[in-house]
Amino acid sequence: MNQPLPQLDLMGLSSKLPTGFRLHHMEIYNWGTFHDQIWHINPDGNNSLLTGDIGSGKSTVVDALTTLLVSTQKITYNKAAGAESKERNLASYVRGAYKSEKSELTQTSKAVTLRGESSYSVLLAWFYNADFDQGMTLAQVFWLKEGNHQPERFYINADQQLNIKKHFSGFGSDINQLKKKLRNINGVNLSTTFREYATLFRRHFGIQSEQALDLFYQTVSMKSVGNLTEFVRQHMLETTDVQGQLDEMLQGFDNLNRLHEAVLKARAQIELLTPLCDGLQQHDIVKVAIEALRVARESLSGWFARFHSELLQTQIDKLVQQAKQLEHRLEKLSNTIQRMRDKENDLHRSIEDQGGRRLREIEREIRQFEQNVSRCKQLYRGYEQACQQLDLDAQLDEARFYANQQQLETLSTQVDEQEGS
């Protein structure tokens, strides 16, 4: 098996470069009964014939290649040999089960394996496209954890050609060290799921449909084709679930019908509720208006009280002005009475003296009157200047004087209001 099979040159086709990605090299380590050494297959991109006696491992090699390209959930192992679905599985290949023994105590069968839980298995294949000088290494590593019946594994896609001896050995007993070693190689991608791993090599190989790999799996271990039409329908054409589509269509129609009825019901409810909503909205508007009028009515007493207060204040100011006029008149009358009394006293003294004393008193009165006249003129000049600045009538008249005084107070009030605003 280490040597490639003889190559057949049919119609001179070998003189041309083979098209597409082809299997050039495959290695197996600890897979099934291929135990404890690396086994090589080298088709070099050519059509090859794998032969051997019954039980020599032909189906084991086919299953190894199938495992690299198809998810194990879809694989029936040893199908190429016509085996039943439960005869072999991934765990039996990794452990190297080669026979079963019956226990004398329990009378149950138990598989006899070549490898224990400390071993690991590697499948590796190198695919190469000579037209574009491109290649990819696909590999899977399996190992067993204590207590687990199903093996653990990870997947490798590499742009360069790898081999088991150089790249998948010499890491000790820790699988994490092997992962670390592989990650340090340029162009190597490690995946933990078959979907990610398959997506990478399908994109690299130009395989657009996942069904192509399913067809490959069906044909790689096919022994006979009973009905070609049935085979094409089952394995080459995508299955169409007509009944499922009809059920889905009917269910969709029922859903749409229920939605249509729900829409009609909601529309009828909206038509019934619209007048109520309009009435509630109008009620809210009227309620707000009534509340505003109530607040306005309650505010009327204060509003009228403010105007009443202003009127009373005006009346008070007017009465205060009148009181000042009366006080001034009273003061004037009091002064007049006093002068007349003084004059009466002077006349009495004049009558009594009838001499120079009277003249001195007259002179004193004259000086007093002159001082009063000078003071009154000075006051009048200030009053006249103030009236000119305020555009008031400066005529010497008692009624005009009090009118000016009242107007001055009004102007003072206006100035205070302007400064306050």
Tell me the pLDDT of the chain (421 aa) as tens digits: 444 434 434 444 444 667 889 999 999 999 988 988 999 999 998 888 888 888 788 888 988 999 999 988 888 787 655 555 566 788 888 888 888 777 666 667 777 888 887 889 999 999 999 888 899 999 999 998 877 778 999 999 999 999 999 999 888 888 899 999 999 999 999 999 999 999 999 999 988 877 778 777 777 766 555 666 766 666 555 666 778 888 888 888 999 999 999 999 999 988 888 888 888 889 999 999 999 998 888 888 888 888 888 899 999 999 999 998 898 888 889 888 988 988 888 877 776 666 666 677 788 888 888 888 888 888 888 878 878 877 777 777 777 778 878 888 888 888 888 887 6
- Residue 31's pLDDT is 92
Radius of gyration of the chain measured on its C-alpha atoms = 62
- The DSSP secondary-structure symbol of 148 reads -
The answer to whether 91 touches 113, Cβ cutoff 8 Å, is: no
Token pair 């081999």 in the structure block, residue: 163
- Residue 4's pLDDT is 42
Q: Which residues contact 101 (CB under 8 A, 6 or more apart)?
A: 109, 110, 112
Q: CB burial class (10 A; 0-12, 13-18, 19+) of residue 96? A: buried
CA nearest 62: which of 268, 284, 223, 248?
223
Four-residue CA torsion sign, 184, 185, 187, 193: negative
Q: How many helices (H) and strands (E) does the chain have?
A: 10, 8
CA distance 90 to 93: 5
CA distance 90 to 97: 10
CA distance 382 to 407: 17
Q: Which residues contact 20 (CB under 8 A, 6 or more apart)?
A: 129, 131
- Residue 223's pLDDT is 53
The answer to whether 100 touches 110, Cβ cutoff 8 Å, is: yes
**Angle (deg, nearest 10), helices 242-353 and 356-389:** 160
Strands 34-41 and 134-143: unpaired
CA distance 44 to 65: 15
Amino acid at 32: G
For residue 162, what are its two tokens?
Answer: 């790898």
191 DSSP β-pair partners: 155
- Residue 228's pLDDT is 62
